[in-house]
Amino acid sequence: MTRRFGIEEEYFVVDPVTRQVVPRGGPVVARAHAALGDRASSELLSSLVEAKTPPCDDLAKLTDQVRAMRAAMAGAAAREDVALAATGTPVLGELLPPPLTPGPRYAESLATYRALDEEQCICSCHVHVEVSSPARAVAAANHLRRWLPALLALTANSPYWAGRDTGHACWRALTWARWPVAGPPPHFTSAAHYEELVGALLESGALMDRATVFWDVRPSDHLPTVEVRLADVALTAADAATFAGLVRALVTRGLEDEEAGRPPSRPSGELLRAAYWLAARHGLSGPGLDVATGRTVPAADLVTGLLDHAAPALADAGDLTAVRRGVAAILMRGTGAARQRAAFRRRERLTDVVDLALLRPDGP
């Protein structure tokens, strides 16, 4: 079976002169509707926009769709005299208090979560992979838990926050972790177990509704998919596609293991928390924690192990060569975070960092 998959990406709206984040998302989305329809949408903060690909059954098609989507969003931004930047956190800008997008849902969210909403100035990449049932989505999530820190390290693209270097490769993940239901999901024994826990969280008020289940892997509440939502938005369409190809293969491999009676690794929450921090702190340039063994290893080795594990499913989908090439490119040139810092070192200008991340109508 070739599973369909798709990508959702968020981008910052920036002033093309100052490169600071600006609250102009609404007009950009309105412009983008001509090319993308409802696949372009607003976000909680009016300085962010979101775009989605259609479902694809082929990695090359998905890559083309991401490029076309980015080009359409960049063109819409240019017609509104702004630009879009693909970074996980804002490089430049006065962020507090942020202008929020009008609407009853966002007003309810602000009333519920207060400063969490006000400081939710982050851009991520979500991958949806088609599954046949909520039970299969829960099973896939269980098998994915071991590999989440490696995926986080590979996709780190948020070292700066409002004019300062945070010292982390993925600061977005640490700001996101403050939400009451976020980060790596627990192991679930069944779909009923998942529903029981979500029901208790809803009753407690920790969740406003089911859309605020912000675990990094979750069954979609409105699509027949499992959603993996832990990554920073990627600097390039190629990096986003590499991530999506790995995610689809891990879902496929996990469900094959489930059917064969091979149980998933069950790392503790404490090990996952530590492994997440190491991945967010260093990206691929430092140590990582193998949550299945408890051993500290180079983060790049975790990614190599992930690729080896996913290789049979990648080969079956025809994606092995493309994804290996994509992973090798990231290992060689560094993560998005490493490339952002390299851009800064050349002239010590954060505007150069924003320029590196700008979406262009004719570029990646």
Q: What is the pLDDT of residues 3-32, one digit of tens each?
A: 999 999 999 999 999 999 999 999 999 999
Q: What percent of the chain is modeled with pLDDT above 90?
A: 87
Predicted model pTM: 0.95
Return the closest-CA partner of residue 9 out of 228, 189, 240, 187.
240
- Residue 310 in any domain: the answer is yes
Q: What is the pLDDT of residue 98?
A: 66
Q: What is the pLDDT of residue 2?
A: 83
Lowest mean pLDDT among 93-107, 129-143, 166-180, 207-221: 93-107
Q: What is the pLDDT of residue 111?
A: 76
| 288, 212, 159, 20: CA torsion to nearest 10 | 170
- Residue 359 in any domain: the answer is no
Q: What is the pLDDT of residue 113?
A: 78
CATH number of the domain to which 300 belongs? 3.30.590.20
Q: How far is 106 from 284, CA to CA, in rounded Å? A: 36
Counting beta carbons within 10 angstroms of the beta carbon of residue 151, is it exposed (0 to 12), middle (13 to 18) or buried (19 or more)?
buried
**Residue range(s) defining the domain that contains residue 63:** 5-348
Q: pLDDT band at residue 49, thresholds of 50, 70 and 90?
A: very high
Q: What is the pLDDT of residue 112?
A: 77
Is the pLDDT confidence value at 144 over 70? yes
Lowest mean pLDDT among 25-29, 53-57, 86-90, 105-109: 105-109
Let me know: does 181 contact 229? Beta carbons within 8 Å. no
Q: Dihedral sign for Cα 108, 112, 115, 119, please.
A: negative
Q: pLDDT band at residue 119, thresholds of 50, 70 and 90?
A: confident
Q: pLDDT band at residue 96, thresholds of 50, 70 and 90?
A: low
- Residue 355 in any domain: the answer is no
Tokens of residue 66, six digits: 């991401």
Average of per-residue pLDDT across 141-168 = 97
- Residue 356 in any domain: the answer is no
Q: What is the pLDDT of residue 44?
A: 78
Q: What is the pLDDT of residue 31?
A: 97
Q: How far is 201 from 203, CA to CA, in rounded Å? A: 5
Amino acid making up residue 282: H
Average of per-residue pLDDT across 69-97 = 93
CA-based R_g, the chain, Å = 19
Is the pLDDT confidence value at 97 over 70? no
Let me know: does 257 contact 143? Beta carbons within 8 Å. yes
Number of domains the chain contains: 1
CB under 8 Å, gap of 24 or more: what pairs does 24-29 form? Answer: 24/80, 24/82, 25/49, 25/101, 26/101, 27/80, 28/73, 28/76, 28/77, 28/80, 28/82, 28/84, 29/76
Average of per-residue pLDDT across 69-84 = 98
Q: pLDDT band at residue 105, thresholds of 50, 70 and 90?
A: confident
Is the pLDDT confidence value at 118 over 80? no
Q: pLDDT band at residue 120, thresholds of 50, 70 and 90?
A: confident
Lowest mean pLDDT among 85-89, 211-215, 320-324, 344-348: 211-215
- Residue 255 in any domain: the answer is yes
Q: How far is 108 from 284, CA to CA, in rounded Å? A: 38
Is the pLDDT confidence value at 109 over 60? yes
- Residue 322 in any domain: the answer is yes
- Residue 28 in any domain: the answer is yes
Q: Which residue has the tokens 């690794």?
A: 265
Lowest mean pLDDT among 91-105, 208-222, 313-327: 91-105
The half-sphere exposure of 225 on its side-chain side, counting CA atoms within 13 A, is 21
- Residue 189 in any domain: the answer is yes
